[in-house]
């Protein structure tokens, strides 16, 4: 299941796979993507998330045919975000079923 491993930050994929394959520097990639270099750097090093806008930039830049589908980038980001949220957020919520049962009992 998807809960069994620590999903990588999408920026990691970008930094380790995409940029080397294109033989591009961070500076060049930032220029081509139309974003500031520090902004891209933050994404590459996991300090900022892939925003919907950034996902669209990547899609237009890489092309949907080349693994650049915006929804996939966003899905990976969501997977990463959820994983992080699971470790830092522990809500204690009574299941709706239980609540419904006590409702039925009443």
**Which residues are CB-contacts of 43 (< 8 A; sequence separation ≥ 6)?**
10, 11, 14, 49, 50, 54
- Provide the 3-class DSSP secondary structure of residue 2: coil
Q: Which residue in the set 34, 90, 93, 97 belongs to the binding site for DNA (CB under 7 A)? A: 34
CA distance 34 to 90: 38
Q: Are 11 and 45 a contacting pair, CB within 8 Å?
A: yes
Supply the minimum distance, in Å, between the C-beta of residue 45 and a second copy: 20
Q: Which residue in the set 55, 101, 105, 106 belongs to the binding site for a second copy (CB under 8 A)? A: 55
> CB under 5 to 8 A by kind: which of a second copy, DNA, none does 102 bind?
none
> CB under 5 to 8 A by kind: which of a second copy, DNA, none does 74 bind?
a second copy
Supply the minimum distance, in Å, between the C-beta of residue 17 and a second copy: 13
């Amino acid at each position: 299941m998807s809960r069994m491993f620590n999903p990588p930050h999408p920026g990691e994929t970008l930094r380790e796979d995409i940029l080397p394959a294109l033989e591009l520097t961070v500076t060049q990639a930032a220029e081509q993507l139309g974003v500031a270099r520090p902004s891209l750097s933050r994404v590459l090093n996991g300090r900022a998330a892939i925003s919907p806008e950034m996902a669209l930039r990547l899609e237009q830049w890489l092309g949907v045919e080349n693994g650049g589908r915006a929804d996939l980038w966003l899905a990976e980001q969501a997977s990463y975000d959820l994983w992080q949220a699971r470790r830092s957020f522990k809500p204690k919520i009574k299941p709706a079923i239980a609540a419904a049962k006590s409702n039925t009992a009443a």
